[in-house]
Amino acid sequence: MYLWVNPTIMTFELTEEQRLIRDAARDFAQQELKPGVIERDEKQQFPAEQVKKLGELGFLGMMTSPDYNGAGLDTISYVLVMEELSKIDASASVVVSVNNSLVCYGLEKFGSSQQKEKYLKPLAEGSKIGAFCLSEPEAGSDATSQHTTAEDKGDHYLLNGTKNWITNGNSASTYLVMAQTHPDLGHKGINALIIEKGMDGFTIGPKENKLGIRGSDTHSLQFSDVKVPKENRIGEDGFGFKFAMKTLEGGRIGIAAQALGIASGAFELALKYAKERQTFGKPIAEHQAIQFKLADMHTQIEAARLLCLKAAWLKDQGKPYAEAAAIAKLFASDVAMKVTVEAVQIHGGYGFVKEYHVERLMRDAKITQIYEGTSEIQRMVISRSILSL
């Protein structure tokens, strides 16, 4: 495992605390997530009991300050946890990602004192779950084209519209919703609003029947004249687009780490299988064709891990990390797809069988190339950075 732990000296050692956190996440994944993970995938069952335990262990508010009931840990520790959980169950790890990177981070960084007290504390302590609501049926990942509207009514907003592909859609209690208040101002007219489950006019659509992360609670949300108090707006009027972009930068680190974990989990299974499965009188790991596959998989995973940890380190040091996060997310998600496909191939016919887990990891890997901005969007972020656009 590798990381930079000093602002001026590069080292490749984990601190004792980081090792303990990683090991705790690894134990939790093996003991709590692995049992029943195939059944949850088949039934599209949200891992409610496991998520509750993750909250009790402090994994849902890892990077939030203890002042707001969080664990106050660094981003590197978060990456380590995301990798270990994602090796086993990406449907559970995405809850950790959204609650930490998007919801808790957004509220702690940009929310008012009142908002932090009311909403952030229960989210960080894990007693409640949050959702980040940006994508729409028409706009997709184009954050500038918000068809959901928040009409200014003086002391409140009237919220109308639909949000799509919302992780924790039905399990959340707190929703951060982007909506257009001043259409003539374009992206400068967007606001970020805190919505509570149960508000009049707020309804939750059916759960999406997905290819991967089938246990993840993904729904569409509908808002019909939802009355939102002005004190639930995050930041100044028109701050919503900037809020979404700044928050997504950290979100990409979490998804990169999730992709890394999926790849790493598939590799570990493929390596174990290659040592056990025999053909022509010897383990297939002794055949050069398999050795080359394993070498390439391992190399790609190591590179992805370094990119994830670099982005996390930059964030922890208060340095610009948007480009590094986009690079990590782009590379790690592509690695997740390549490695899981190869893991299925190494398993042969057994790779197509659910009990060997690799087919599920392959299905889970695909979403990492799509959410938190598609691979094409990451390339846009990177190219604009290197071209200084």
The class level of CATH for 241-387 reads mainly alpha
Token pair recorded at residue 200: 């009049």
Q: What is the DSSP string of 113-139?
A: HHHIIIIIHHHHTTSS-EEEE--BTTT
DSSP label at 145? Answer: -
Q: What is the DSSP string of 266-294?
A: HHHHHHHHHHH-EETTEEGGGSHHHHHHH
- What pLDDT is stored for residue 105 in this prediction? 98
Q: Which residues contact 226 (CB under 8 A, 6 or more apart)?
A: 158, 159, 160, 195, 199, 200, 201, 202
- CA–CA dist 321, 26 (Å, integer): 27
Token pair recorded at residue 329: 């997310």
Instruction: Tell me the pLDDT of the chain (389 aa) as tens digits.
Output: 444 545 556 677 899 999 999 999 999 999 999 999 999 999 999 999 999 999 999 999 999 999 999 999 999 999 999 999 999 999 999 999 999 999 999 999 999 999 999 999 999 999 999 999 999 998 766 778 899 999 999 999 999 999 999 999 999 999 999 999 999 999 999 999 999 999 999 999 999 999 999 999 999 999 999 999 999 999 999 999 999 999 999 999 999 999 999 999 999 999 999 999 999 999 999 999 999 999 999 999 999 999 999 999 999 999 999 999 999 999 999 999 999 999 999 999 999 999 999 999 999 999 999 998 888 999 999 999 999 87
Q: Hey, what amino acid is at 77?
A: S
Helix intervals (H) in the chain: 16-28, 37-43, 48-56, 75-88, 90-97, 105-110, 113-115, 121-124, 240-276, 288-316, 322-347, 358-367, 375-386
- CA–CA dist 244, 255 (Å, integer): 16
Query: For the stretch 137-159, what's the b/e string if a residue is b when 16 or more beta carbons lie within 10 angstroms of its beta carbon?
Result: eebbbebeebebbbeeeeebbbb
Q: Where are the domains of the chain?
A: 16-129, 131-240, 241-387
Domain 16-129 adopts which CATH fold? Butyryl-Coa Dehydrogenase, subunit A; domain 1 (1.10.540)
- CA–CA dist 90, 213 (Å, integer): 6
CATH second-level architecture of 131-240?
Beta Barrel (2.40)
- Phi/psi at 208 (nearest 5 deg)? -75, 140
CA distance to 243, 374, 376, per residue, from 383 (Å) = 22, 14, 10
pTM: 0.95
Residues classed as catalytic: 372
- What pLDDT is stored for residue 1 in this prediction? 46
- What pLDDT is stored for residue 372 in this prediction? 81
